[in-house]
Amino acid sequence: MSTTTIDNKPVVPEEIKSFTVTLIIRRFNPEVDDEPHWQDFDVQLYPTDRVLDALHKIKWEQDGSLTFRRSCAHGICGSDAMRINGRNRLACKTLMKDLDVTKPIYVEAIKGLPLEKDLIVDMEPFFDSFRAVQPFLMNSVTPVKGKERIQTVAQRARFDDTTKCILCAACTSSCPVFWTDGQYFGPAAIVNAHRFIFDSRDENAAVRLDILNDKEGVWRCRTTFNCTDACPRGIQVTQAIAEVKQAIMRGKA
Amino acid sequence: MTSTIEAPRSPRTPKGPYGRSTKKSGVNWEKWGWIYMRVSGVVLVVLIFGHLFVNLMIGEGVSALNFAFVAGKLTNPFWMVWDIIMLWLALIHGGNGMRTLVNDYATSRISRGILKVAILVSVVALIVLGTLVVFTFDPCPAGAPADLVASFCKSL
Ligand code: HEM
Ligand code: SF4
Ligand code: FES
C-alpha cells in the first residue's frame, strides 16, 4: 500500500490578462456635424478580442450612438469592412493580438463611397458596379430533368478563388483609382465577373468581357495590389483582374 | 491616415443601365493604349539605357558631350533612326500616361478637356520639332568656329 500524499492543488489555467486599448474612431453624425471628427475611447480587452468586440463594448457600455454595420460577426456576411490603422479589414476578423496595442488603434469608414454616419457608407455605387457585370449564371440549355450541369474538377478549380467573395467592398474601397474615379468598376465587380467568365457552364463570357473592355473597365487597373492586400477572403484580386485583361486580349475566356 | 477621400470625386454621369455609358465605338482605344504602354515600355528600356550608356559612359564619358558630339551622332543614319524611334515612342508613351493621370484626377468635363488638349498640343509640337531637327540638322553651320564643330567639317 502506498501512502503517497497527493498534492491536491487544482490545475488552475494561467490567467489571461486584459489590457486597456485606446481606439480613435472617426465619427460623423449628419444631423449635427459639418465635418467628421476623431474621438477616442479606452476599452478593457483581451488579446483574443477583435476590433468588433471593442466597438461593441463602446456601443454597449460607453456611447450608444456609435454606428456601424455588422451581422454574422464571423467573416461571412461582409458587412463590417472598415479602415483599421489605415488598412481595409473586417472588424470581426481583426484580433487585438495582431495589432500593436501600445499605440491607439484608428478606426474609420472605408473610403471612396459616400459617408452616411460614423462607420457606415452608402454601398449603392458599389453594388451598381457589381450588378453591371451580370453576376449570375447564363445558360440557354436546360439540363435534363433531375440532372446537374456537369463540370470537371479542373473546370471548377479554374474560378474557385473568385467564388469566395463576400462583397465586403474592402478591395474596391482600397483602390486609389476608385478613390479618384468613382466611375471605375473596381476590383470587386471584376472579381465577380471573373467568377462567371471562367465558369465552363456559363455561355456569356463574351458579354462580360465586352462590359469590362470599357474606358472605366479593367484597363483602369494600375496593379497597385491594394485590393489583394485588403481582401479578407485571401482572394488574389489583382491576379483575377490580370486574367480578365488577358481574356479580353485573347477575345475569349 | 487623416486624409479625407469621401465620395467618388469624378462626376457620375448616369446614361445607360447601372449609371453607365452604353456607347461603344468601333475601336477600343483603352485596350490599345494599355498594350502600347507595355510594348513601348519594353522597347524604351533598350533605347533609353542604350542612349544614356553611349552618351554618358563610353569613352570620355559626360565630358565628351558638346555640339560636335551631338552633331556627329546626328549625321549617322543608325543614330538618326535610334533617336527618331525613341522620340516618337517616348512622347506618345508620356502623353498617353499623362492622359491617364488626367482621367484619374480631373473632376470636371471642362478641366479634363483643357488638360487633354494641352497634352496633345505639346506632344505634337515636340514630335514635329524633334523630327525636323533629326532630319534637317546641319552639323557644319556656315561660319562656325572650327573648334566647336565636328572634325569632319574641315573636309567639306
Ligand atoms: C524606361 C522605359 C520605360 C518603361 C519600361 C515604362 C513603362 C511604363 C508602363 C508599363 C506604364 C503603364 C503603367 C500602368 O498602366 O500601370 C507607364 C506609365 C507611364 N509612363 Fe512610362 N515607361 C518608360 C519610360 C517612360 C518615359 C521616358 C516617360 C516620359 C516621357 C514615361 C512616362 C509615363 C507616364 C506619365 C505614365 C503614366 C503613369 C501612370 O499611369 O501612373 N515613361 N510606363
Ligand atoms: S474580393 Fe475580397 S475584398 Fe473584394 S469584395 Fe470580395 S471579399 Fe471583399
Ligand atoms: S460581421 Fe459579417 S463579415 Fe464581419
pLDDT tens, residue by residue, A59-97: 999 999 999 999 999 999 999 999 999 999 999 999 999
Q: Are A179 and A235 in contact (CB under 8 A)?
A: no
- Give percent above pLDDT 90 in chain B: 51
Length of chain A: 253
B113: pLDDT strictly greater than 90? yes
Taking all residues of chain A, what is their mean pLDDT, rounded to a whole number? 94
The one-letter code for the residue type at B58 is I
Residues A113, B12: Cα–Cα separation, whole Å: 12
Is residue B7 classed as helix, strand or coil in its secondary structure? coil
Q: Read off the pLDDT band of B2 (50, 70, 90).
A: very low
User: How close is the Cα of A190 to the center of ligand 3, in Å?
Assistant: 22
Question: Which ligand 2 atom sits closest to the C-alpha of A237?
Answer: 1
Question: Which ligand 1 atom sits closest to the C-alpha of B44?
Answer: 2
Q: Are A1 and A23 in contact (CB under 8 A)?
A: no
- Give percent above pLDDT 70 in chain B: 82
- Please state the ipTM of this predicted complex: 0.80
Which of A14-23, A27-36, B57-66 has maximum average pLDDT?
Answer: A27-36
pLDDT of residue B103: 87
Q: Are A36 and A77 in contact (CB under 8 A)?
A: no
Residues A131, B16: Cα–Cα separation, whole Å: 13
pLDDT of residue B1: 43
Q: Do A181 and B9 touch (CB under 8 A)?
A: yes
Q: Read off the pLDDT band of A4 (50, 70, 90).
A: low
The one-letter code for the residue type at A176 is P
Q: Do B6 and A111 touch (CB under 8 A)?
A: yes
Q: Residue A39: which H helix or E strand, with range?
A: strand A37-45
Convert the pLDDT of each residue in A128-164 to its tens digit: 999 999 999 999 988 888 899 999 999 999 999 999 9
Q: Are A25 and A108 in contact (CB under 8 A)?
A: yes
User: How close is the Cα of A232 to the center of ligand 3, in Å?
Assistant: 10
Q: Read off the pLDDT band of A7 (50, 70, 90).
A: low
User: How close is the Cα of B116 to the center of ligand 1, in Å?
Assistant: 17
Give the phi and the psi of residue A82 in degrees, each rounded to 5. -155, 170
The arithmetic mean of pLDDT across residues B106-133, rounded, is 95
User: How close is the Cα of A227 to the center of ligand 3, in Å?
Assistant: 18
Helices A187-197/A237-250 angle, 10° precision: 60
The one-letter code for the residue type at A148 is E
A33: pLDDT strictly greater than 70? yes
A202: pLDDT strictly greater than 60? yes
pLDDT of residue B20: 58
Least reliable range by pLDDT among A14-23, A221-230, B79-88: A14-23
- Give percent above pLDDT 70 in chain A: 97
**Closest partner residue to B5 among A112, A125, A248, by Cβ?**
A112
Write the CA distances from B88 to A212, B55, B75, B84, B130, integer angstroms.
Answer: 30, 19, 19, 6, 9
The arithmetic mean of pLDDT across residues A116-134, rounded, is 96
Residues B130, B91: Cα–Cα separation, whole Å: 10
Of A128 and B22, the one with more pLDDT: A128
A63 lies within 8 A of chain B by CB:
no
Half-sphere exposure of B149 (CA within 13 A, CB side): 16
The arithmetic mean of pLDDT across residues B80-96, rounded, is 97
Residues A25, A110: Cα–Cα separation, whole Å: 12
pLDDT of residue B35: 96
- With a 6 Å cutoff on the Cβ, whether B92 touches ligand 1 is no
Q: How far from chain centre, in Å, is Cα A34? A: 28
The one-letter code for the residue type at A8 is N
Q: What are the residues whose beta carbons fall under 8 Å from the beta carbon of A224, sequence distance 6 or more?
A: A175, A176, A177
The one-letter code for the residue type at A156 is R
Residues A95, A116: Cα–Cα separation, whole Å: 26
pLDDT of residue B4: 55
Q: Read off the pLDDT band of B63 (50, 70, 90).
A: confident
Rg (CA), chain B: 22
**Closest partner residue to B20 among A132, A177, A181, by Cβ?**
A132
* Residues on chain B touching A179 (C-beta within 8 angstroms): 5, 8-9
DSSP letter, residue A16: P
pLDDT of residue B3: 52
pLDDT of residue B14: 47
Q: What are the residues whose beta carbons fall under 8 Å from the beta carbon of A237, sequence distance 6 or more?
A: A171, A187, A191, A227, A228, A230, A231
- With a 6 Å cutoff on the Cβ, whether A218 touches ligand 2 is no
* Residues on chain A touching B4 (C-beta within 8 angstroms): 36
Residues A211, A196: Cα–Cα separation, whole Å: 13
Residues A87, A79: Cα–Cα separation, whole Å: 16
Half-sphere exposure of B139 (CA within 13 A, CB side): 21
Q: Read off the pLDDT band of A5 (50, 70, 90).
A: low
